[in-house]
Structure 1
Amino acid sequence: MRIGELAAQTGMTRDTIRFYEKAGLVTGRRLPNGYRDFPPETVVWLQYVRTAQTLGFSLAEIARHGAELRDAPDSAQALSALFEEKIRIVDVRMAELAALRAELTARVGIGCPLQADRAS
């Protein structure tokens, strides 16, 4: 399938697909006329990529785990393990943000601490 048809079926732009190709997320072969040709299963894979991004996975994470998920005998189990790891990462980030929020809240109304240090 050519890139235009792939774009139409996935709702992505040709530029996005080219970017994903450059990043190694999809592979299309070149036809003699120079056009890209993608296998039909690329549609499902790109939908997976979009869903994974929505769930907070980076393109690097998707690329890193994509092959293992496609080849996993029980992909639901493999996905669950990735989701659990992502939840741990989110929990750590939430704790960091809560600490940052507390620090900022404590500083509200006290002025700029950098100016106070300069006056010393």
Structure 2
Amino acid sequence: MRIGELAARTGLSKDTIRFYEKNGLVAGERLANGYRDFAPETVSWLQYVRTAQTLGFTLAEIARTGEQLRDAPDSAAALSKMFEEKLRVVDERMAELAVLREELDARVGSGCPLRATAR
């Protein structure tokens, strides 16, 4: 299918698909007339990409794990492992943000960003 049809079927813009192609997330074959031709399974792959982005995975992670998932005999177990790792990262980030929040809260009303107020 051509890029316009792929865009219509996925809800993505042609520019987004071109960006993904440039970064190795999708591959279109060039026809003799210069048009891109994408395999039908590209639709489900792009839906996966969008869902993974929504879940906080970067495009680099998606590209790397996509290859792993295609080769994994049990993709459900592989996905669960990836989600557990992402949860660990999110928990770490939440802890860091909680510390940052406390630091900012301690400086409220101090008039100086370098001094915490005594509370």
Relative CO higher for 1 or 2, CA cutoff 8 Å, sep ≥ 6? 1
**Aligned position for 2:45:** 45
Equivalent positions of 1:1-120 (< 5 A) are 1-114=1-114
Deviation at 1:48, TM superposition (A): 0.1
Runs of 4 or more off by more than 6 Å in structure 1? none
Deviation at 1:111, TM superposition (A): 1.1
Structure 2 length-normalised TM? 0.94
Which structure carries more helix by proportion? Answer: 1
Query: Identity of counterpart residues, as a percentage?
Result: 78
Distance in 1 separating the partners of 2:59 and 2:104 = 32
For structure 2, the 5+ residue unaligned runs are none
The one-character-per-residue Cα deviations of 1:81-117 (angstroms, maximum 9, x if unpaired) are: 0000000000000000000000000111111145x8x
For structure 1, the 5+ residue unaligned runs are none
CA RMSD of aligned residues (A): 1.0
Structure 1 length-normalised TM? 0.93
Deviation at 1:70, TM superposition (A): 1.5
Aligned residues between the structures: 115
